[in-house]
Chain A
Amino acid sequence: MNKVALVSKVSLDEKRAESLMSSIDTERVRETAAPPSAAGAKVQSPPGSFASAARHLVERVGKALEGALPTAVLLAMLLGAWQLACSEPGASLPPPSKVISDTWPLIAHPFYVGNGTDQGLGWQILASLRRVAMGFGLAAVAGISLGVLIGHSKVAFRALDPMVQVLRMVPPLAWLPLSLATFHQANPSAVFVIFITAIWPIVLNTAVGVSNIPQNYRNIAKVLQLTGPEYFFKIMLPATVPYMFTGLRIGIGMSWIAIIASETLIGGVGIGFFIWDAWNSSLMSEIIIALVYVGLVGFALDRLIGAIGRLISRTAGAR
């Protein structure tokens, strides 16, 4: 019967999926991997009087504050401990109070414009984000295409998977010398490093998503005689979107890590070089404040991709 009929095929598919899965197991982000249907529930608001909307808002803000409370308490404790540990003269790191007072001009004027690399923190971060946007955008397009190919075709899988598995193990910075030698300029080199860092999780997750499209959906497509593009948009894309966004989310995090590292070596305007520059001038407070910004921006990027993923999962395939 068809169980038997599909055994050889299925076991191959499973093997393929497994080998892909095992390689990215730890990188998976649960939230975006949830099936698209799970995100389908809409928030129902009562038919809208202003009062009920206001009450709703207050409730939500209240809940958010309640959720943030433990974090706030812990943060205050850690900052307090740090303050105590580093207040003595001769401490190797400045205490939080000194960090704030030292860097107040930087915090207050994020879009200050000076000469050369002497720019406000906002400009530094924007410069880094611009590189990430370019590199990550390219990685998303190339990664999804390659992932679809690997997931869809067994020949492509056999040909490309070993290469992908080896290349993805090369650390971002190891690409930099090669990149500089090829492009001769700092900016395209940095963009390339981001591209080559972000692409692998996108490729692998997309490939897993595509090869995991249930046989049933493929059978439906066959019975309906969907054409290639119809299959791509009506079945493959909606079925794979959660996987793609898992990859994109891992990819954006890795590209943000990579840009900071490569900028320290490349120089120019950018938050990475800002940190290296501050280290060379022994401005510990500036380093610390830059680290906080880097963390917050990375967090925002991650959430942004996650939110886009949920939005698309919710509307995918709807006419």
Chain B
Amino acid sequence: MTLKHLSIESVGVSFPTRDGTFTALRDINLTIAQGEFVAMIGHSGCGKSTLLNVIAGLVEATTGAVLLDGKVVDSPGADRAVVFQDHSLLPWLSVYDNVRLAVDKVSGKSRTRAERHTWTMHNLDLVDMAHAKDKRPHEISGGMKQRVGIARALSMEPRILLLDEPFGALDALTRATLQDKVMNIHATLKNTVVMITHDIDEAVLLGDRIIMMTNGPAATIGQDLTVGLPRPRVRLETANDPAYLTARSEVMRFLYDRFQHPKEAA
């Protein structure tokens, strides 16, 4: 286990606006180990998506740097696959072709045509979407789209999987199913995951660590909590585990007491 798999070193992000410089993030220092599942939580507007986009290379850090296995990353790349909140499937491509586009692009040279087909189907199988491979995105439900988005990200064999509130737009039951799915995949593939969420239970259930963000502007990491729950975690059993409850109340205290939402505090 490499201790410094992903390392975020004094990252700050600010944007020029009409009223001067807006600082979204400051002094972010975070080290993530290989295979770790990190959940990031904070009130909306706290810059957690910006941080994820910095890791993805979609937003440039104004100060500091992100290092992946010791190398600076400052542009997007397939080694850091993103699952977007709104799934971002291309509507003119079938489910299969959406995944295949990523497969062709990322492993076009390393795999033969037949292998790429098998790999595409394998990843659709992982999220139980092989049956709908010929459907267009508008023909499947929101949860299914998100599963295809996950399959697409996994098919890129990323070193880090970045999930940007992937289940935020889904109903509670679908969300629970997908959370279990993501836990299973994480247990099987042992990939490093950084996930943004608004949902405390989701953060505690899925995360090895929970990074809590202070409120913006100029947000930073307020607390870094290690969840002491053994894996595999089973939703129903875990829910009454003292470690679960401790972690849960810790996050609640952070979000609702120490760092109330700016609007609620006002």
Quick check: B50 and A1 within 8 Å, CB to CB?
Answer: yes
**B68 CB-CB contact with A under 8 Å:** no
Q: Report chain B residues within 8 Å CB of A55.
A: none
Identify which of A7, A35, A223, A239 gathers the most chain B CB atoms within 10 Å of its CB. Answer: A223
Q: Report chain A residues within 8 Å CB of B73.
A: none
Identify which of B50, B102, B137 gathers the most chain A CB atoms within 10 Å of its CB. Answer: B50
Q: Complex: how many Å from CA A318 to CA B136?
A: 11
Which residue of chain B has its CB nearest to the CB of A216? B88
Interface residues on A, range: 20 to 34
Quick check: A37 and B91 within 8 Å, CB to CB?
Answer: yes
Quick check: B97 and A219 within 8 Å, CB to CB?
Answer: no
Q: Report chain B residues within 8 Å CB of A37.
A: 91-92, 136-138
Quick check: B101 and A234 within 8 Å, CB to CB?
Answer: yes
**A226 CB-CB contact with B under 8 Å:** yes
Which residue of chain B has its CB nearest to the CB of A2? B49
Q: Report chain B residues within 8 Å CB of A295.
A: none
Quick check: A225 and B76 within 8 Å, CB to CB?
Answer: yes
Q: Complex: how many Å from CA A318 to CA B16?
A: 41
Q: Complex: how many Å from CA A235 to CA B89?
A: 11
Q: Complex: how many Å from CA A318 to CA B90?
A: 11
Quick check: A220 and B90 within 8 Å, CB to CB?
Answer: yes
Quick check: A4 and B88 within 8 Å, CB to CB?
Answer: no
Task: State the Cβ distance, B161 to closest chain A Cβ, in Å.
Answer: 12
Q: Complex: how many Å from CA A253 to CA B149?
A: 42
Which residue of chain B has its CB nearest to the CB of A4? B24
Q: Complex: how many Å from CA A239 to CA B90?
A: 9
Task: State the Cβ distance, B128 to closest chain A Cβ, in Å.
Answer: 22
**A257 CB-CB contact with B under 8 Å:** no
**A62 CB-CB contact with B under 8 Å:** no
Q: Report chain A residues within 8 Å CB of B57.
A: 222
**A224 CB-CB contact with B under 8 Å:** yes
Which residue of chain A has its CB nearest to the CB of B93? A317
Q: Complex: how many Å from CA A7 to CA B90?
A: 23
Task: State the Cβ distance, B54 to closest chain A Cβ, in Å.
Answer: 9
**A22 CB-CB contact with B under 8 Å:** no
Which of B16, B84, B137 is in CB contact (< 8 Å) with A219?
A: B84
Task: State the Cβ distance, A255 to closest chain B Cβ, in Å.
Answer: 29
Quick check: A238 and B44 within 8 Å, CB to CB?
Answer: no
The binding surface of chain A is classed by DSSP as helix
Q: Complex: how many Å from CA A205 to CA B74?
A: 34
Quick check: A219 and B90 within 8 Å, CB to CB?
Answer: no
Quick check: A223 and B16 within 8 Å, CB to CB?
Answer: no
Q: Complex: how many Å from CA A8 to CA B138?
A: 30
Task: State the Cβ distance, B196 to closest chain A Cβ, in Å.
Answer: 9
Q: Complex: how many Å from CA A95 to CA B46?
A: 76
Q: Complex: how many Å from CA A223 to CA B17?
A: 26
Quick check: B24 and A1 within 8 Å, CB to CB?
Answer: yes
**A3 CB-CB contact with B under 8 Å:** yes
In chain A, positions 297-319 with a C-beta closer than 8 Å to chain B are 313, 316-319
**A5 CB-CB contact with B under 8 Å:** yes
Given contacts A223-B56, A225-B78, A226-B105, contact A4 B90 (CB under 8 A): no
Task: State the Cβ distance, A141 to closest chain B Cβ, in Å.
Answer: 23
Known: A1-B44, A220-B88, A317-B97. 15 other contacts (CB 8 A): A1-B47, A4-B50, A214-B88, A217-B88, A222-B76, A223-B76, A224-B101, A224-B105, A225-B77, A226-B105, A235-B90, A239-B92, A316-B92, A317-B92, A318-B97
Q: List 19 A-B contacts (CB under 8 A).
A: A1-B47, A2-B58, A2-B59, A3-B49, A4-B15, A4-B22, A4-B47, A37-B92, A37-B137, A38-B138, A216-B88, A219-B82, A219-B84, A220-B90, A223-B78, A226-B105, A235-B90, A318-B97, A319-B97
Closest 10 CB pairs of A and B: A216-B88, A1-B49, A317-B92, A222-B76, A2-B49, A37-B91, A238-B92, A37-B138, A224-B105, A1-B50
